């Protein structure tokens, strides 16, 4: 019988040597005994849909993934605010693809709920958000009711993500923001692999300042390095609270944990987004906070983050 230490060492070795994003996926000796071996082997073959995906994605200048190791840190909210800021201050054509298959929230945030995806001769027509004319694609817009649950295994999630890229008529865009679910699983591996040929710009990691949330950042950093995905920076969310009366901001989690962690990994901090009840109200009702509350510290911060991001991308 193997001891707990032996099991940990074996698992650690397999995680370290896992060739999931290489041609050896499912074929390496370290893959023997892995329950995902058959899936990785199939993914390692030439994908007949890849050419069309490359054509669709090749018309989009910048592809950015929004990641978080932990749920509840406001990743979708950051993706939503960032898309609004890029569309507003950069006058950019922006699209948002919601890769959170089991918990889509982008349709509500961008006010395209209860709209149906239409089929055109050129493919699925993405929904157009009234907030900045942003193109949106989400499984939430394919369901008959927002009360329906999506119960998919990994291969079906991957297949749906592939259809979002291949069959959606995105057209020419300046930015495509990919909102991912928490963790480092099927959806993340699928989008990185499918975008590999068109070279995505990288990932933005979202976290809150609590230690329990920041502990997962190291896993996201490890995932990005293993998958060959550049890290554009970290966004600290919900680090302060904006008083709705006087607009004064107070810190909720004193300290510089995010800054210190980012510095230790040579990753820039793109900015901090405090909590503002007025912005939360906009999120809940699908409004555009950049227009409704331009003087909010959240609006000012996200506009600054978008400018920093654009400058960073243009330098690479």
Q: Where are the beta strands (DSSP E) in 243-283?
A: 249-251, 269-275
**Rounded Cα gap, residues 314 and 308, in angstroms:** 10
**Rounded Cα gap, residues 167 and 125, in angstroms:** 9
Query: Residue 22: its pLDDT value, please?
Result: 63
How large is the average pLDDT for residues 126-147? 88
Cβ contacts of 262 within 8 Å, gap of 6 or more: 233, 234, 268, 269
Query: Residue 35: its pLDDT value, please?
Result: 57
Asked if residue 88 belongs to a domain, the reply is: yes
**Between residues 143 and 175, which one has the greater pLDDT?**
175
**Between residues 266 and 145, which one has the greater pLDDT?**
266
Inform me whether the pLDDT recorded for 7 exceeds 50: no
Structural domain tally of the chain? Answer: 1
Handedness of CA 129, 70, 279, 91 (dihedral sign): negative
Asked if residue 25 belongs to a domain, the reply is: no
**Rounded Cα gap, residues 84 and 235, in angstroms:** 16
Asked if residue 286 belongs to a domain, the reply is: yes
Six-digit token string for 51: 């050419």
Inform me whether the pLDDT recorded for 104 exceeds 60: yes
How large is the average pLDDT for residues 132-137? 93
0.95 cut: is pTM over it? no
Q: How many CB atoms lie within 10 A of CB 199?
A: 11
Query: Residue 215: its pLDDT value, please?
Result: 83
270 neighbors 233 (Cβ within 8 angstroms): yes
Asked if residue 210 belongs to a domain, the reply is: yes
How large is the average pLDDT for residues 59-79? 94
| Percent of the chain whose predicted confidence (pLDDT) is above 90 | 57
Closest listed residue to residue 114, CA positions, set 140, 137, 94: 140
**Rounded Cα gap, residues 81 and 223, in angstroms:** 25
Asked if residue 15 belongs to a domain, the reply is: no
251 neighbors 240 (Cβ within 8 angstroms): yes
DSSP string, 106-153: HHHHTT-TTPPPEEETTEEEPEEETTTTEEEEEGGGTSS-TT------
CATH number at residue 162: 3.40.50.300
pLDDT in tens, 245-257: 777 778 777 666 7
pLDDT in tens, 193-232: 999 999 999 999 999 988 888 888 888 999 999 899 999 9
208 neighbors 258 (Cβ within 8 angstroms): no
pLDDT in tens, 152-191: 888 889 999 999 999 999 999 999 999 999 988 889 999 9
Please state the φ and ψ torsions of residue 91, each to the nearest 5 degrees: 50, 40
Asked if residue 17 belongs to a domain, the reply is: no
Query: Residue 70: its pLDDT value, please?
Result: 85
Using pLDDT thresholds of 50, 70 and 90, give the confidence band for residue 48: confident
Query: Residue 228: its pLDDT value, please?
Result: 93
Asked if residue 9 belongs to a domain, the reply is: no
Query: Residue 143: its pLDDT value, please?
Result: 80
Asked if residue 36 belongs to a domain, the reply is: no
The residue segments making up the domain with residue 213 are 49-315
């Amino acid at each position: 019988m193997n001891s707990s230490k032996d099991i940990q060492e074996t698992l650690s070795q397999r995680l370290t040597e896992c060739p999931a994003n290489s041609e050896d996926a499912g074929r390496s000796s370290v893959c023997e005994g892995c329950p995902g071996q058959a899936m990785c082997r199939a993914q390692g073959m030439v994908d007949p849909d890849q050419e069309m995906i490359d054509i669709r994605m090749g018309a989009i200048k910048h592809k950015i993934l929004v990641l978080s190791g932990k749920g509840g840190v406001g990743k979708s909210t950051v993706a939503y605010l960032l898309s609004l800021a890029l569309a507003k201050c950069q006058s950019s054509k922006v699209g948002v693809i919601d890769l959170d298959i089991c918990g889509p929230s982008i349709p509500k945030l961008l006010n395209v709920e209860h709209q149906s995806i239409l089929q055109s001769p050129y493919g699925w027509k993405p929904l157009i958000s009234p907030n900045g004319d942003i193109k949106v694609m989400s499984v939430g817009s394919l369901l008959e009711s927002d009360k329906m649950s999506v119960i998919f295994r990994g291969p079906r999630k991957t297949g749906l993500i592939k259809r979002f890229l291949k069959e959606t008529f995105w057209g020419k865009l300046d930015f495509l923001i990919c909102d991912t679910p928490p963790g480092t699983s099927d959806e993340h591996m699928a989008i990185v692999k499918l975008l590999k040929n068109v070279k995505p710009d990288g990932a933005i990691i979202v976290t809150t300042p609590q230690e329990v949330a920041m502990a997962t950042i190291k896993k996201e950093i490890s995932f990005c390095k293993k998958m060959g995905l550049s890290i554009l920076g970290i966004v600290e969310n919900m680090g302060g609270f904006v008083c709705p009366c006087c607009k004064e901001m107070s810190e909720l989690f004193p300290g510089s944990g995010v800054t210190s962690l980012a510095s230790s990994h040579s990753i820039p901090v793109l900015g901090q987004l405090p909590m503002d009840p007025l912005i939360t109200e906009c999120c809940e009702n699908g409004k555009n906070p950049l227009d409704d509350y331009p003087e909010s510290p959240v609006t000012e911060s996200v506009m600054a983050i978008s400018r920093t991001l654009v400058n960073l991308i243009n330098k690479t």
